[in-house]
Amino acid sequence: MWRYSLSCLLGMIFLAFVPAGCAKDESTLSARYKDYNIVLVSIDTLRADHLGCYGYLKPTPTIDALANTSFLFESMFTTSSTTLPAHASLMTSLYPKDCRNGYRVRDSVTTVAEVLGKNGYLCLGFVSALPLDERFNLDQGFDYYDADFSGSRGSIHLKDNTWFAHKFQVFDRNAEETTNKVLATLKKRTISQPCFLWVHYYDPHLPYLPPSTFYDPTKVTRNSFPYYFNPTPSDLQSLHELYDGEIQFVDQQLKKLIDGLKELDAFTNTIVVIVADHGENLYEHDGYLDHSQVVYDTVMRIPCLLHLPGLRAKRIGELVSIIDIMPTVLDLVGIASSGVEGRSLITLLEKEKPDPLRTYVTCETNDFGVKEEEQAIAVRTKLMKYIYNNWNVGKNLFYALAEDPHEKNPRSALPGSRAQELTSLFDTWRKRYKSGNIATPLALDRETQEALKSLGYLQ
């Protein structure tokens, strides 16, 4: 059984009478959820603007319903366009720095699971793709970490078991397989302490092959797409139908997960965070399909919902980063953060008109083998954006987002001193940024390199 303490019950009763965003003082929410369970769901490659609650035409019933009782961050941005570095930021509240897909996060880095574990939490993690398996060391602090894809159908098959000499024949498992594993594991365990549950879903990632009931086949004329391509309207229709179908599938499985937690009495006393690691470009810039090599808002902007029992929904437009999630959750359960680069967002939750916490956010490319001088890096304010080293070395671009929100008109400069303001922010951030390191390369054999190339992880 999940822990359902008297203090939690009293907290829930009190919270039922607290209007959303009407805090009596600065610390109304800090520690208010002490010993509550925490459920963190990270959905790979999920664009915010393909969810109903973010304005998309097709509804996503489970996520939209959760948004009706959650804080919804309209301007949340990831720090990295690839899976492991972005999740490293999520789980450590650090910028990805020298982390790349396929690197090993250092033992010296402190994860949110390690912090929660020291404070009495049982930490359970379930991931759905190889970039997050144990050898990359994001399992630090978890009492149970499930990256076992044996028996999974998988959407990517490994012909020679060569992806980092992995023992499984598949690269991933789908949302149904992961959800079943989570619920079966929880049902078998007797849990007498607060629980941190991390569930990672991978389905919206390439290849886009949703179950047949989640898309309209009359709208699909092809189901494979090159990384670099000039799509026709028909190609784009197929692409969106299939990508959205994967999202619909995850949404259905998320309902199953939430219903399963409710059956275990583990939802009413639970903080829930739904977030993505990065988005997907979908050919909207540079004729490029994927996410790993670009930092446009198609990839950089991510959805984020925070459900706090007893509080009503609120949309928050202030700039925030994926690195802010860990200190926020720890603040809510009454644990101080140390050594983190993110900031607690509690004042944004409490105040009707809060002061901005951030003037800018950043995102970078960290694919396997990308050298520092080859990285594209975005610095983004509410109204402007600078992309350093975009796509090809030496291509620096500016965007005036108020008049060009979809980044269709790159400029070599901005009026007045605005371009200089952005480059100054970039220089200041990078100077500080270079001081740290969080990961080290793993040795790669030739076969593994070939497998990475075939999967698009290595150029």
* Residues near Zn ion, by CB under 5 A: 44, 83, 277
- Our CB check for Zn ion shows the closer of 251 and 367 to be 367
- Under 8 Å between Cβ of 87 and 79: no
Q: Find all residues with CB under 8 Å of 447, minimum gap 6, and list them.
A: 160, 162
Q: What is the DSSP letter of 328?
A: H
d(C-alpha 454, C-alpha 287), whole Å: 20
User: In a 10 Å sphere around its CB, with 0-12 CB exposed, 13-18 middle and 19+ buried, how is residue 125 labelled?
Assistant: buried
Q: What is the DSSP letter of 80?
A: B
Kindly state the smallest distance separating residue 182's Cβ from Zn ion, in Å.
19
Q: Find all residues with CB under 8 Å of 435, minimum gap 6, and list them.
A: none
- Our CB check for Zn ion shows the closer of 172 and 241 to be 172
- Our CB check for Zn ion shows the closer of 115 and 129 to be 129
Kindly state the smallest distance separating residue 288's Cβ from Zn ion, in Å.
16
Kindly state the smallest distance separating residue 97's Cβ from Zn ion, in Å.
18
Kindly state the smallest distance separating residue 44's Cβ from Zn ion, in Å.
4
- Our CB check for Zn ion shows the closer of 177 and 318 to be 177
Kindly state the smallest distance separating residue 176's Cβ from Zn ion, in Å.
19
- Our CB check for Zn ion shows the closer of 32 and 47 to be 47
Kindly state the smallest distance separating residue 402's Cβ from Zn ion, in Å.
29
Structure token pair of residue 336:
């101080």
- Our CB check for Zn ion shows the closer of 70 and 82 to be 82
Instruction: Tell me the C-alpha to C-alpha distance, in Å, between residue 384 and each of 19, 324, 361, 392, 434.
Output: 34, 21, 11, 21, 24
Kindly state the smallest distance separating residue 332's Cβ from Zn ion, in Å.
26
- Our CB check for Zn ion shows the closer of 32 and 100 to be 100
Kindly state the smallest distance separating residue 129's Cβ from Zn ion, in Å.
8
Kindly state the smallest distance separating residue 43's Cβ from Zn ion, in Å.
9
Nearest residue to the partner Zn ion, using Cβ? 83
b/e per residue, 37-75, with b = 16+ CB within 10 A? bbbbbbbbbbbbebbbbbebeeebebbbbbbebbbbbbb
Distance between first and last Cα of the chain: 48
User: In a 10 Å sphere around its CB, with 0-12 CB exposed, 13-18 middle and 19+ buried, how is residue 150 labelled?
Assistant: exposed
- Under 8 Å between Cβ of 177 and 168: no
Q: Find all residues with CB under 8 Å of 399, minimum gap 6, and list them.
A: 384, 385, 386, 387, 407, 409, 410, 411
- Per-residue 3-state assignment (H helix, E strand, C coil) for 179-219: HHHHHHHHHHCCCCCCEEEEEEECCCCCCCCCCHHHCCHHH
d(C-alpha 187, C-alpha 395), whole Å: 53
Structure token pair of residue 49:
């603007």
- Our CB check for Zn ion shows the closer of 35 and 44 to be 44
- Our CB check for Zn ion shows the closer of 291 and 385 to be 291
Kindly state the smallest distance separating residue 48's Cβ from Zn ion, in Å.
14
- Under 8 Å between Cβ of 351 and 108: no
- Our CB check for Zn ion shows the closer of 44 and 407 to be 44
d(C-alpha 432, C-alpha 94), whole Å: 12
Kindly state the smallest distance separating residue 92's Cβ from Zn ion, in Å.
16
- Our CB check for Zn ion shows the closer of 44 and 367 to be 44
Closest by CA position to 89, among listed 371, 374, 320, 283: 320
